[in-house]
Chain A
Amino acid sequence: MTITALMLGLISGLALGSIYLLIALSLTLVLASSGVFNFAQGTVVMAGTVLSFVLGVRMGWTPLATVSAIMAIGVLGGLLTHAIAVWPAMGRSKAFAHTTVLTTLGLGTAVNAAVALIFGSESWRVPSFISDNPLHVAGIPVRPIYLAMIGAGLLITLVIDRVLRRTAMGHMFRSTLEDPEGAMLLGIDVRKIILGSFLIAGALSGLAGFLIAPVIQASAFTAQELAFLGFAGMAIGGFGSFGGALLGGMISGLIAGLAPVLAGPTLTLPILFVVTVGVLLVRPSGLLGTAGLFGSSRLREI
């Protein structure tokens, strides 16, 4: 194994990490505001890859038009998930988390299968929306798409960080994410914030699908794996924590980038699995998560 191979693995890891953190961020947004683990999130990412192919390749749309359409459809996906799988379960405080795991899983499963029915079961290569000629950085050939992924990941992170910290809407969002009941007492319309988190998460997931499509191909059968890569990122970083989602998404990306170089491509998922379980066993709330959040505390219910 050469230094070049290692550097290539590192760069592809950073690129994948930038996408995984978008997925982890989408999951975290929804989870922290509403307590829902949205299994259908992977479906939106998958739809992003499939639409990249259908719109961008088959119908020849420009990359800008394609990504706009995909993000709009992602927002629609978030809206539909909320309307079909989450809103009807509201008001069942005791079984809400349990019920929504099942409903979002059911919705995701049905939509994945419907996409497979319409789109077919083949996987299609999606050419990069920018040049595929490798750039030589210090003698290492780098696919430009990787740089675009890293750039997009950084940009989104900065924008979200800015919005959350500096704007009034951001403050309302953060109060809700940190303490929904307290936010409700402050007069924040928590239901609107929850709906908003579903819409934003949908847009982010769609974008993640568009960005990752040239790397993983467009297929109707990637939804669950993508959801799990995001879940691994969220679990490693810390449930419900933004910093955690960023950190964990990057860690799982680096594992996905470096494991093929260091250990072989088939070992990527097993290593990620072992790391995830290991982190959760040592710290059930993840690296940056708060203990006691989402019912992991022991005495909370007494």
Chain B
Amino acid sequence: MRIFSSRHFGIVAALVFIAFLATVPLWATTSFAMSRYIVVLAYLMAALGLNLAMGYAGEFVLGHPVIMAAAAYCAGLLSALAGWPFWATLPAGVVAGTVVGVVIMSPGLRVRGWYYSLITMFAVLVLRPVVVLFEDWTGGENGLTGIRGVVFLGERVKPWMYLEFALICFVLMWLAVDGFVRSGWGHRMRALRDARHAAEAAGINLAETRLVVYVLSSIPAALGGVVLAYSSRFVGADDYGIGLMLMFLGGLVLGGTGTRYGPVVGMGLLLILSFWVGPFSPYNAIGVGVGLLVCSLLFPDGIIGVFAGRRGGKAGVVVPEHLAIGGAPVVRALSGGDGVVLKARGVGISFGGNRALSDVSLDVPRGAVIGLVGPNGSGKSTFLNVVSGFLRPDTGVVEIGGVNIAGMVPHRIARAGVQRSFQVPQLVDEFTAIENIEIGLVAFEKRAILGSILRAPWVRRRERARRARAEEVFAMVGLPEQARHMPVAKLPLGLKRVVEVGRAIASSPHLLLLDEPAAGLNDEERVALGLLLRRLQGIGITVLVVEHNVPFMLRFCDALVLLEEGAVVCTAPLDQPLPDRLARYLSYAPQTGFAEVVA
């Protein structure tokens, strides 16, 4: 089965598939037979759009039949009632479909999970009553008729020409989606899907990414809708119902969501079934239903996943204790702040009646490794969440380089030079370490949506530069060579944490926040991580680390800050004798027994 995993096999198969569709007019004698293939192409386009939103961006939207219908009705109405020519109704229909698509998907900016998918599915159910409501225009239950034929260069376009046109549309959409997915936007979308907090913390604007996805996911479906309207020269609401939505969903799950060939393979199978039993047979729905049930239980990665297999590599790599020194990145100059990177004054926050932070004031000098210690519930993680913007403080000021960031959203704070890691590593599992590190860089690039779709030369240059920088960071954090081509899902926990640190430092932040980075690591991994922190200091990245492991903190920090009940008790440099309170806390801390092991 290895042949299936080869890139070339996929491309060759795709070319054969396209060639097959291109030669349909040679043997499909009736225009009815050809129109069935146009339906296939329109559905495939919609499935490509759905794959972008659901597969890559993880937005579980199911409203694509409505997008197709909106585009079809708009183009059809402009043709039938206003007499617009095809070249004018086509873009109008695509725009209308896209607008409707963005509107029905926009609740996703606030409502999450499958409630969201239910809302978009509900929209499909509402389509028919809305069409009936405007039956004076739409023709209601009888459907919209009177769409004029396509005229090109003064001549009526023949069915075979229209089929080739639909094929060109499909191929262009496929290439566009593919180009977009391979660009930095592919990183953003997958981060949105698999590690959305990490994406925000890396400076990615989630709302913006979602909106871009909504627009780009709608366009292929809308184009499919217009193509369909002109093929049958009829638009009926019943053609765009729950059944079609289930077919798209089933096709995608069957083929493999978030893959290049999945939607085409899965939809292809369902369409072959539909050719066999006829488009209106209940056996179609049985096929879709059984396909959904079986595939989501047995083959969660779809048919493509079964054949392609995972990207290779062995698990169980060990972090070398002494990390290889790589090229030092350029540290961006921090203008204000007088040598103090993070300055907090009187930071307080309450959850309900529970005062998590009452009055935290501390200075983190540039280039230091500062440890934040304290008992459970003392507010350490809460403070990190405030500094990184995941929580909005009720009172107080948090300055990064002299700029108050309290109340700013996480992605803005990240772009201001604050990066963080998470207690549970938040990574894109299917990505390699290098690709995960790149997630820390994409937010600092220009959007370049069109350039990404078209794979413009300058976008490719940018990608190469990003890759080179990620390689540099990969070497710098000392990740083992074996981890280079392996999806991070297969890495041990210790390495996942290092990958997270790599992602966080890739953009050379001023301040790095680490939330319990040593939890769950063995001694060797812990030492490697500590050495990495010291090396960050060497290149001018300031570190604020929350950790319960006392030996780790004593060995690798410059100073410790003791937090109790939401307030700073004392701040102590570690090159001087410890203040009583801190000494007492540390000796009572449960991990003291391990001190000898590490020291």
Contact = CB atoms under 8 A, between A and B. Distances in A.
B48 to A, nearest CB: 20
B292 A106 contact: yes
Contacts of B197: 301-302
Nearest to A280: B111
Interface in B461-509: none
Given A101-B117, A302-B390, A269 B125 contact: yes
A232 B119 CA distance: 9
Nearest to A225: B125
Interface in A189-235: 224-225, 228, 231-232, 235
Interface stretch (B245-253, B311-319, B336-344): B245-253
Contacts of A110: 285-286, 288-290, 293
B118 A235 contact: yes
B577 interface: no
A108 B242 CA distance: 13
Contacts of A284: 110-112, 115
B113 A276 contact: no
Given A101-B117, A232-B122, A299 B107 contact: no
A89 interface: yes
Interface in A99-117: 99, 101-103, 105-114, 116-117
Interface stretch (B89-97, B126-134, B179-187, B358-366): B126-134
Contact of B112 (A84, A117, A268, A296): A296
A138 interface: no
Contact of A270 (B130, B249, B296, B515): B130
Contacts of A298: 390
A139 interface: no
Dominant secondary structure of chain B at its interface with chain A: helix
A299 B390 contact: yes
A109 B391 contact: no
A242 interface: no
B282 interface: yes
A281 B110 contact: yes
Contacts of A113: 282-286, 289
Given A277-B107, A298-B390, A107 B297 contact: no
B307 to A, nearest CB: 20
B289 A108 contact: yes
Interface in A266-296: 266-270, 273, 276-277, 280-281, 284, 294-296
B139 interface: no
B118 A296 contact: no
A237 B385 CA distance: 32
A299 B118 CA distance: 23
B165 interface: no
B114 interface: yes
A99 B300 contact: yes
B291 interface: yes
Q: Chain A CB within 10 Å — which of B114, B249, B424 has the most?
A: B114
A103 B290 contact: no
B351 to A, nearest CB: 10
B423 interface: yes
A103 B290 CA distance: 9
A185 interface: no
Given A267-B129, A273-B122, A281-B107, A109 B289 contact: yes
A281 B110 CA distance: 6
A296 B290 CA distance: 30
A100 to B, nearest CB: 8
A105 B249 contact: yes
A284 B300 CA distance: 29
Interface residues of A, number: 50
A109 to B, nearest CB: 3
A171 interface: no
Interface string A62-82: 000000000000000000000
A85 B293 CA distance: 7
B115 A109 contact: no
Chain B interface category by residue count: 35 or more
A102 B253 contact: yes
Contact of B114 (A85, A101, A106): A101
A105 B246 CA distance: 9
Contact of B286 (A95, A103, A114, A239): A114
B557 to A, nearest CB: 23
B296 A294 contact: no
A294 B391 CA distance: 20
B276 to A, nearest CB: 15
A116 B282 contact: yes
A279 B60 CA distance: 20
B422 interface: yes
A268 B115 contact: no
B129 A106 contact: no
A60 interface: no
B125 A106 contact: no
Interface in B282-337: 282-286, 288-294, 296-297, 300
Contact of B125 (A228, A235, A267): A228
Contacts of B250: 106, 109
Contacts of A111: 289
A119 B391 CA distance: 56
In this complex, the member of B60, B288, B289, B385 whose beta carbon has the largest number of chain A beta carbons within 10 angstroms is B289
B422 A302 contact: yes
Contacts of A114: 282, 286
A230 B290 CA distance: 24
Contacts of B296: 89, 99, 102-103, 106
A266 B133 contact: yes
B562 interface: no
Nearest to A115: B282
B126 A109 contact: no
A97 B288 contact: no
A296 B115 CA distance: 10
Which of the listed residues B125, B250, B288, B390 has the most CB atoms from chain A within 10 Å of its own CB? B125
Name which of A106, A108, A301 has the most chain B CB atoms within 10 A of its CB. A106
Contacts of B249: 102, 105
Interface centre among B110, B133, B282 (most CB of A within 10 A): B282
A264 B292 CA distance: 37
A276 B122 contact: yes
Contacts of A84: 293
Given A106-B250, A113-B286, A114-B282, A299 B385 contact: yes
Given A110-B288, A270-B130, A296-B113, 4 more contacts: A101-B114, A103-B297, A106-B290, A109-B246
Which 4 A-B residue pairings sit nearest by Cβ, starting from the closest? A110-B289, A106-B292, A109-B289, A113-B285
24 contacts: A89-B297, A98-B114, A102-B253, A105-B246, A105-B249, A105-B289, A106-B288, A109-B246, A109-B250, A109-B286, A110-B285, A112-B285, A114-B282, A224-B125, A228-B125, A264-B133, A270-B133, A273-B122, A273-B126, A277-B119, A281-B111, A299-B391, A302-B385, A302-B423
Interface of B: 60, 107, 110-115, 117-119, 121-123, 125-126, 129-130, 132-133, 197, 242, 246, 249-250, 253, 282-286, 288-294, 296-297, 300, 381, 385, 390-391, 422-424, 515
